Structure 1
Amino acid sequence: MSSYRALSRNHDFTVLWIGQTISEVGSRMSMFVFPLVTFALTGSVLLAAAAEALHLLGVAGALLPAGVLADRRDRRRIMRAASAVGVLLYASLAGAGIAGTLTVPHLLVVALLTGVGAGLFAPAELSAVRAVVPTDQLPTALSQHQARLHVAALVSAPLGGVLLGIARWLPFAVDAASYLASWVLLGRLRADLSPTPYDGPRRRPGHDLVEGARFVWSRPFFRVLTIWGPLTNLMVNALFFVAVLRLISGGSSALQIGLVEAIAGVAGIVGAVLAPWLIDRVPTGRLTVLIAWSFLPLVVPMALWPEPLVVAAALGLGMLLNPAGNAGIGSYRVAITPPALVGRVQATSQFASMSTMPFAPVLAGTLLTTLGGTAATLTLGLLTAAVALIPTLSASVRSVPRPAAWDVCAAPAAA
């Protein structure tokens, strides 16, 4: 708990965390509402799914250039600009809703552009965290980042449903207000978030982008994670989709399915609270391997008993270790990356991890249709086990020590 108290005294991190928690709740609420509003306007399931797909496409498309920008320009200005654009975009939806002129193309354009804004924001935010948080507090800082994501996931859907029940435009107005709060709080940051000064020859953006990717690929640990991350995201998300689709086809109510997601969200918050303790005591390499296998014991009950309580318990147990894994890997990545490369390395890693996520629903639906529920779940379990072998068999992953010894690893990376 002392690490939490020390971090809470860090004014800039606290301001950044509060502002982005508010904004994250608003953004996730809008992503929950987008498909519902689109379906209400058109009756098309395909168009309803297109909103979230376009948002993810916007995020992925912006990440790599955003990494270059975060290493070249003031991170505070980048984050405030992204927040300001979010205010305008969601206010436009709220205004159109009040005027009775809200259209599906308007919704889809906003979904895409807010995804671009989120992609621009992410590398700048991590670079800012690296600038305001000491290295020994990075695991706690990124654990709190994980908690923020799970709090937003827990609160956003119920809040969006309540606001949507009052007025179709109200969730968008509240999201615009959340972006405004983020913009105001970002203006209160005290630290200098400008990148490291550069006095060399003129650089081209493409060269900078390649430099970040080359750094990632030249480090065996990063290289293994760049392969393992997108594959494990694909399998675990497909498992989640299969579980939810089986509940829907089995006649479970929306309330029961919401309960499953709520329990997973609570487990994620608990896991984020425990994450600093785990990261300090378990070598990061072993923790990574443990995370890789953590969902495997839960596959059998999910396959054999597709009931809401069983699925909720399985997903909840799986989510307990997830924040520690994400925070531990993320903290190590930031700690051993030279400050001038943090934005590009983060963008490259996040882009790789997200690259397969749009295919998870497709994989889940295909396996469920061709194999049936039990076989689809077990097949995904076997694929998850095969993917887990990637970090397990890698000496560069298994050998990563606890945070106290990260300085030894950081020296060669800085060189």
Structure 2
Amino acid sequence: MAGFRSLTRQHDFTLLWVGETISELGSRVSMFVFPLIAYAQTRSTLAAGLAETANLLGVAAMLLPAGVLADRFDRRRIMRCASAVGLVLYLSLVVAIGMHRLSLVHLIVVALGTGLAAGVFSPAEVSAVRTVVPSDLLPTALAQNQARQHVASLVGGPIGGALYGVTRWLPFAADAVSYAVSWVLLGRIRADLTAPARTAPRRRVRAELAEGVRFVTRHRFFRVLLVWSPLLNLTVNTIAFTAVLRLIQAGRSPVQIGLVETAAGVCGIAGAVCAPRVVRALPTGLLTVLVGWSWVPLAVPLMFFNTPLAAAVSLSVGIFLNPSGNSGIGAYRLHITPPELVGRVQSVSQFVSYLLLPLYPVVAGLALHRLGGPGAIALLVGLTAAVALIPTLSRAVRSVPRPATWPQAAGSRTGGV
């Protein structure tokens, strides 16, 4: 807990974290309500999923160019502009619903627009964290960011449902307020968040993005992650979604299924709290390998037990280690990346890790349809084990030491106010 206490004395990180915790909570509220409103308007399950799909596509579409922006311009301005866009878009929904003029197209456009804004925001935020947090506290800072995601995921749905029950425009009004809070708090950060000065002339976006790609592919550790992370995201999310689909097929109540997700969220928060200690105690390479293998034994019981308790235990324990892995890998990436490349390296890594995510509902549905519940889980366990071999067989991954002995990037700078 000492690391978390140290972070509370970091004025700028605290402002950034509080603002984005509130903003992320607002976004989770909106993401919960989008399908409810879309289905209420159209009575179509396909339409109900279009808004979330549009949001994810918006994020993915902007990640790569946003990395270039984060390495060129003032990160504070980028983040405040993104927050302002979210504020305006969600206010437009409030007005449209209040005037009884909301259309499905409007809903999808707002979801896409806020996804684009989130894609712009993300690399700038990571670059800002790299600036305002001392290098030795990076794992703790990233773990705290993981905690905020799990907290928002845990309570966003219930809050969204409660607000939606009062009146349909209220969840979006709350999200608009969350963006306004983010905009205000970002403006109170004292640190200089301008991109590092360059001696070389500015080049075209494609050339600058290629520089970030070259940095990632030049390091064997990152090359392995480019292959491993999207495959791990696909298999793990498919296991979780398959477990939920099986509970639905078995006729389990929404309350029981909701409790499974609640248990997973609670364990995610607990994992984020423990993550700094785990990251400091274990070599980062070993931690990466452990994350890859952790889901293999945990998913095995799901082949034999299709109950809420089995799903809750398997998914919750699996998610517990996830914040440690994300924090360790993310902090190592930030630590060895030169400041002038942080935005691009982060955007390339995040973009690749998200590449296969849209496929997991399809894979889960096909596996269940063709193989049945136990067969689908067995297939996914085998695939997860095969994916875990990727970091296990890589000496570049296994050899990464504890944070205390990480190599220092040339020209790196650390801060803290």
TM-score w.r.t. the length of structure 1 is: 0.98
Q: State the match for 2:281 in structure 1.
A: 281
Distance 1:22 1:412, change over 3 A: closer
1:379 maps to which residue? 379
- Counterpart of 2:14 in structure 1 is 14
Q: Secondary structure of 2:200's partner? A: coil
Cα distance in 2, alignment partners of residues 253 and 180 from structure 1: 37
Which residue identity does 1:93 align to in structure 2?
L
Distance in 2 of aligned mates of 1:135 and 1:30: 34
SS in 1 for 2:48: helix
Pairing of 1:388-403 with structure 2 (within 5 A): 388-403=388-403
Q: Which residue of 2 aligns with 1:61?
A: 61
Measured in 2, the distance between the counterparts of 1:250 and 1:27 equals 31
Q: Which residue of 2 aligns with 1:227?
A: 227
Asked if the contact 2:58/2:112 (under 8 Å) is kept, the reply is yes
1:193-242 CA deviation, whole Å, 9 max, x = no partner?
00111132231111000000110011000000011000000000111111
Per-residue CA deviation, residues 364-407 of structure 1 (Å, 9 max, x unaligned), is 1111111111100110110000000000000000000000001x
Quote the offset at 1:409 in angstroms: 5.4
1:39-80 deviations in Å (ceiling 9; x for gaps): 110011111111111111000000000000000000000000
Shift of the alpha carbon at 1:410?
3.2
Equivalences, count: 413
Q: 2:326 and 2:145 mapped to 1: Cα distance? A: 10
CA offsets, 1:168-192, max 9 Å, x none? 1111110001111101111110000
Alignment correspondent of 1:79: 79
User: What SS does the aligned partner of 1:190 have?
Assistant: coil
Map of 1:197-212 to 2, 5 A cutoff? 197-212=197-212
Correspondence 1:314 to 2:314: yes
| 1:352 aligned partner | 352
1:257-276 maps to which residues of 2 (within 5 A)? 257-276=257-276
CA distance in 1, matches of 2:23, 2:272: 19
Task: Give the aligned partner of residue 97 of structure 1.
Answer: 97
1:124 maps to which residue? 124
Q: By how many angstroms is 1:95 displaced?
A: 1.1
Q: Which runs of 4+ in 1 moved over 3 A?
A: 409-414
Q: In the TM superposition, what are the counterparts of 1:33-182 in structure 2 within 5 Å? A: 33-182=33-182
Taking the aligned partners of 1:239 and 1:226, their CA distance within structure 2 comes to: 21
Query: Unaligned regions of 5+ residues in structure 1, if any?
Result: none
Counterpart CA distance in 2 for 1:191 and 1:29 is 31
Aligned to 1:189: 189
Unaligned runs of 5+ in 2: none
**CA-atom RMSD, angstroms?**
1.2
Q: How does 1:337-348 map to 2 (within 5 A)?
A: 337-348=337-348
The DSSP-based 3-state class of the residue aligned with 1:293 is helix
Question: 1:69-93 deviations in whole A, cap 9, x for unaligned?
Answer: 0000000000000000000001111
Quote the offset at 1:152 in angstroms.
0.4
> SS of the residue aligned with 1:71?
helix
Alignment partners' CA distance in 1, 2:412 and 2:13: 25
| Alpha-carbon distance in 2 for matches of 1:334, 1:282 | 18
Contact 2:339 2:412 in 1 (8 A): no
Q: Structure 1 stretch 1-10 or stretch 382-391: which is displaced more?
A: 1-10
2:251 alignment counterpart: 251
Q: Say which is worse superposed, 367-376 or 122-131, in terms of deviation.
A: 367-376
- d(CA) in 2 for partners of 1:202, 1:289: 39
Q: Distance in 2 between matches of 1:45 and 1:358?
A: 17
Question: SS at 1:140's partner residue?
Answer: helix
Moved more, 162-171 or 333-342: 162-171
Q: Partner amino acid for 1:150?
A: H
Code of the residue aligned with 1:118 in structure 2: it is A
Q: TM-score, normalised by structure 2?
A: 0.98
Distance 1:124 1:183 in 2: 14
Write the distance in 2 (CA, Å) between the matches of 1:36 and 1:381. Answer: 33
3-state SS in 2 of match to 1:294: helix
Range with bigger deviation, 254-263 or 199-208: 199-208
Secondary structure of 2:409's partner?
helix
Counterpart Cα distance in 2 of 1:102 and 1:111: 13
SS of alignment partner, residue 202 of structure 1: coil
Q: Secondary structure at the match of 1:410?
A: coil
* Contact persistence 2:235–2:360 (CA under 8 A): yes
- State the Cα deviation string for residues 11-37 of structure 1 (Å, max 9, x = none): 000000000000001111111111111
Residue 213 of structure 1 aligns with which residue?
A: 213
